[in-house]
Structure 1
């Protein structure tokens, strides 16, 4: 099964539409490299969550989390990686808090309760492994 592009929570502006079209092209042409535009200077003060790709095995989600915004404790079945592309977030799991800054990444096993809050306006890339 090929990759599936999904969009949730977009802003609806022209720039967002162009960005989605670029992702759609790359998601429907497996094996081609994807070049995501430079996000510096992007407004990260509004929450947004966009599923970039979804297959039977994984889901790739782009998250904008404004400073002070928190995602309450929750869990997902699959294993996850969370990469902070810009900003700073606090990730709570297993009674500990990990601080992620731009360029840093973490892994969490499936089913583990966790929470997230943005210390700064942040851009994140979340990968969820849907099947083992």
Structure 2
């Protein structure tokens, strides 16, 4: 058994989005994304399906030209290779579930180029 918390030991950064792998299982990677209000993750695609869960805050989630306002508690799924972007409308904690076949380094690369 593995145990962790998405809401403890938060380390928001004023200049960049913070990505941390919190759990890795036989089928998924659970990643915490910390975004300060106004921070952006530019348009990108995941090669496999993802789940996005807003634990705290509010995100403008752009997908295929439409923007969806996601508030605390909201969840969504996206199939692989669907372009999407995120903008924090408030300081936010986002849970990202990746396929085991995907890499956290890919997500970190998205942040580095946003």
What is the TM-score of this pair, normalised by structure 1? 0.65
List runs of 5+ in structure 2 lacking aligned partners. 102-114
CA separation of 1:129 and 1:61: change in aligned 2, threshold 3 A:
same
The alignment's TM-score, normalised by the length of structure 2, stands at: 0.74
**1:63 paired residue number:** 33
CA offset at residue 36 of structure 1?
Answer: 2.5
Matches within 5 A, 1:16-55: 29=1, 34=3, 36=5, 44=12, 46=14, 47-55=17-25
User: Of Structure 1 and Structure 2, which has the larger fraction of its residues in strand?
Assistant: 2
- What's the CA shift string for 1:5-32, capped at 9, x where partnerless? xxxxxxxxxxxxxxxxxxxxxxxx25xx
SS at match of 1:120: coil
Identify the residue that residue 81 of structure 2 maps to in structure 1: 111
In the TM superposition, what are the counterparts of 1:118-129 in structure 2 within 5 Å?
Answer: 118-129=88-99
Q: Report the count of equivalent residues.
A: 98
Please give the alpha-carbon distance, in whole angstroms, between the structure 2 residues aligned to 1:37 and 1:53: 10
Q: CA deviation at 1:130?
A: 3.8
Larger RCO (CA under 8 A, 6+ residues apart): 2
Q: Distance in 1 between matches of 2:93 and 2:11?
A: 10
Partners of 1:81 and 1:60 in 2: CA distance: 10
Q: Which residue of the partner structure matches residue 67 of structure 2?
A: 97
Structure 1 pair 109–48 and aligned structure 2 pair: CA distance change class (3 A): same
Unpaired segments of 5 or more residues in structure 1?
Answer: 1-28
Q: Which has the larger radius of gyration?
A: 1
Q: For 2:31 and 2:66, locate their aligned partners in 1 and report how far apart those are by CA, in whole Å.
A: 24
Structure 1, residues 60-90: CA drift from partner, whole Å, max 9, x if none? 1001001000000011111011100111001
